[in-house]
Structure 1
Amino acid sequence: MSVAALLEACRAGGLTIATAESCTGGMVAAALTDPPGVSDVFLWGAVTYSNAAKRAQLGVSQVALVEHGAVSEAVARGMAAGARDRSGASLAVAITGIAGPGGSAFKPEGRVCFAVADAHGIRAETVEFGALGRDAVRHAARDHALALLQAAAGP
């Protein structure tokens, strides 16, 4: 999957993209905006590292944060919905996870939750990348998010 192919699929389908990132710190937005002239596709990106930022910038519910924790599919869904709603984009991807070091028995290092919001709804999934180290988890999460966007954008 290449960013160029994703951007071309979006252009062909008249789609736009927004991102909502936590553990990747804007890496998906950076990858999408690396090629010149992408303002017709990429509209908006938010790095919401803290729970307060997730609530204020994306409208993630306090209930989801308390009941499920920041690293959860419920919060990823809220992030994706907020990014899509607030940006007006056709597609929004959200990422929240534990890049490391650290983690717990309940939420281990390398667990990353993703969500994609589009006109058909919101799909979420969790990927256990494992304790690969912070950089490797962040890069793997970036690449997975781009692949999710490519799947949502079509061939």
Structure 2
Amino acid sequence: MDSQPSASGQEVEILLVEDNPGDARLVQELFSDAHILNRFHVATDHREALDFVTQRGEFTDAPRPDIVLLDWHLPRATGEEVLRGMKEDAALSRIPVIVLTGSDVGEELIQTSEFEANAYLTKPVTPDDFISLVRSFEFFWLSVIRSPPDL
């Protein structure tokens, strides 16, 4: 089966902000197995993520992500630091941010943040549930949702 392009027909640039190498590898493999035409980039902490989206430091040539998958529980800072940095910047605030959390309190975490994520997802425990999550993500965020054009 061939990779499927995004709704725009182009490769999707995905920034995964995840400090657990096993979770990062699993997410990348599942997106690959789902045959979603994408380029995955991984940041392991809040600083690296913000440098990537703002194209600072070693990431001056990094592409602008089409979507950010953000682990809420990061070392040295929470995902809220990344979310705040993105939502305070007009150029970055339009990038959809999906918060990933390993607990069922995801909605509560997001509601306590003054900076709104576009959605949150609880990380599934079993591989089959993770596969279902990726397929749902693909359908909704890459097929149904259309981002407004940049101004």
- Compute the TM-score of the two structures, normalised by the length of structure 2: 0.43
TM-score, structure 1 normalization:
0.42
Higher helix fraction: Structure 1 or Structure 2?
A: 1
Tell me which of the two structures has the higher relative contact order, counting C-alpha pairs closer than 8 angstroms and 6 or more residues apart.
Answer: 1
